[in-house]
Amino acid sequence: MCADLHAALGQNRKKPRKRRSPSQKTLLTATATCAIIALSFYTALTPLPLRSPSAIATAQPVTAALPASDTPPKAPGQSRGMEASAPTSGATVEPSTLPDGSVVTKYSPGSREGSGPALVSAPHVGQDPRMAAQPNPELLEDTPEGRIPKLGRDGLRPIEQYARPWSGAHGTRIAIVVSGLGLSQTGTQKAIKRLPEEVTLGFAASGNSLSRWMQEARRSGHEILLQVPMEPVGYPANDPGRGTLQVGKPSTETLRDLHRAMASTTNYTGLMNYMGGRFLTNADALEPAMRDIAARGLLFLDDGSSAQSLAPTYAKAMNMPFSVADLQLDDQVQEKAILKRLDELERIARRNGQAIGVASAFDESVETIAKWAEGAKARGIEIVGISALAMEAQQ
C-alpha cells in the first residue's frame, strides 16, 4: 500500500481501513472525472512552454520567462518583420561619422545577384538633415569649369540625393519655387528664413556667395534649384546676365557655359530657366543642353514663360525628370494680386491633384507666400519639393 500523501512528514503510520459506502464511491468517481476535464482545459489554454511535464511538476506561474527564440537577433536599426540585408539582397550599408561624433547609416540599393531577399521599392528620402549642406563627393565630377553634378557609380542621381522628403500620399500637392536668390544678400537671407521649408528655392547662377546661401538653405530644410540664364527674345538689349546660353553658338560652347553655371554651387536637384524665350524654342541650341542635364541625373523645370518651349518634348524623349510651372505668382508685385494667383493655383491643384507656382524673391512675394502656406496646410494641401512632382512625371 502507498503512503498517505496528506500525512505529516514522519507520521506514516497505517490506520484502520474504513469501508466506503456506494454513494461515497460514486462521489469520488465524479470528482476525479471533473478534475481530469478541468486539467484538460487548463492544458489546452496554457501557453506551450507551460505544457511540458517539467513545467507542471515545478508549478511554474504563467508569468515565467519563456524560452529564448530561435530567431537570430535583428541588426541595429532594422525594422521588425524585415530581413537583414545580405550580400545578395542588393543593399549597401555605409555608416558615416558626423563632425559631432554621431553616426548616420546610409542604405543604398545595388544590383541584385542570386536569390537574396527582395527589397521593397520606396522613394529615396534624400540626405540626413544634419548632412544636407554637405555635397556627396560621389556625385561630383571635376571639369575645367569646376565641380559639377554627375551620376553615382551605383546609379544614384543628384535629384534623389538632394530631394526634399515628402509624405508619399497622393492628395492635393503644390510645389512653389521662389527664384532669384543670391542676387540680393538681404533678400536671400529673408527668403531662407521666412519661407516654409517645403518651398523650393531657386539660386541664380550669376549670384554671389552661393555656397554660403546654399548651405544655409539646405540646413533650413529647403530643396534648391539652380537658375540658368538663357537667351530671351530681344537679346542682347534684353540681357539675363553673364553666362547666358545663346542660340547660334556651337554645342561645345553651350555646354561650357552650362557647366560653368552648374559649378557655381552644388546640392541642387536640378535646373530651371531664367528667361530663355528664344533659347527654349531653338532645337539646335536646346537639345545638347537638355541631353547633358538628363545624363547627369538632374531635373529641369520650365518656368512656363514661353508657350513654344521645346523643353517638354525633349524631356519626354529623354525620359528625364521634368515639370512645367502652371502659374507665375507675382507678375504683379502686390499682396492682393499674389493672393489671387495663389488661390488660382490651389484650384488647379484640387482639380488636377497637383500644381506648380513660381515667383521671384521680392519682399511682397516672400511674405504673401509664407502667410498663404500656413493656411494651405490647414486646408489639407501638402506643399512638396519640386523633385517630388518631377520624378513622378518621369514614371
DSSP secondary structure code for residue 15 in this structure = -
In-domain check, residue 152: no
In-domain check, residue 118: no
In-domain check, residue 73: no
pLDDT of 131: 86
Q: How many domains does the chain have?
A: 1
pLDDT of 127: 66
In-domain check, residue 165: yes
What is the mean pLDDT, run by run of 10 residues, along the chain of 395 residues? 43 46 48 49 43 38 38 36 32 49 44 36 56 95 98 97 93 97 97 98 97 97 98 96 96 98 98 98 98 98 97 97 98 97 98 98 98 95 97 86
Q: Nearest Cα to 202, choosing from 173, 216, 182?
A: 182
C-alpha cell at 169: 500620399
C-alpha cell at 110: 545595388
Distance from C-alpha of 4 to C-alpha of 28, rounded to nearest angstrom: 17
Q: 299, exposed or middle or buried, with CB in 10 Å at 0-12, 13-18, 19+?
A: buried
Distance from C-alpha of 395 to C-alpha of 393, rounded to nearest angstrom: 6
In-domain check, residue 202: yes
DSSP secondary structure code for residue 119 in this structure = P
Cα radius of gyration (the chain)? 35
C-alpha cell at 159: 535629384
Distance from C-alpha of 238 to C-alpha of 234, rounded to nearest angstrom: 5
pLDDT of 129: 72
DSSP secondary structure code for residue 197 in this structure = T
Q: Assign 83 to helix, strand or coil.
A: coil
In-domain check, residue 319: yes
Angle value at C-alpha 331, between 326 and 332, nearest 5 degrees:
135
pLDDT of 33: 52
C-alpha cell at 149: 553634378
Distance from C-alpha of 363 to C-alpha of 186, rounded to nearest angstrom: 10
Which residue segment(s) compose the domain that 262 sits in?
158-394
C-alpha cell at 236: 542682347
Q: How big is the chain, counted in residues? A: 395
Is 293 in contact with 302 (CB distance < 8 Å)? no
pLDDT of 101: 54
pLDDT of 44: 44
Q: Tell me how far apart the 2 most distant CA atoms of the chain are, in Å.
A: 129
pLDDT of 72: 38
CA dihedral sign of residues 119, 124, 125, 131: positive
Nearest 10 degrees: Cα torsion 232, 233, 234, 236: 30
Q: What is the CATH number of the domain that holds 178?
A: 3.20.20.370
pLDDT of 100: 53
pLDDT of 394: 83
pLDDT of 217: 98
In-domain check, residue 120: no
In-domain check, residue 214: yes
C-alpha cell at 222: 529647403
Q: How would you classify residue 207: left for phi > 0, otherwise alpha for psi between -120 and 50, otherwise beta?
A: beta
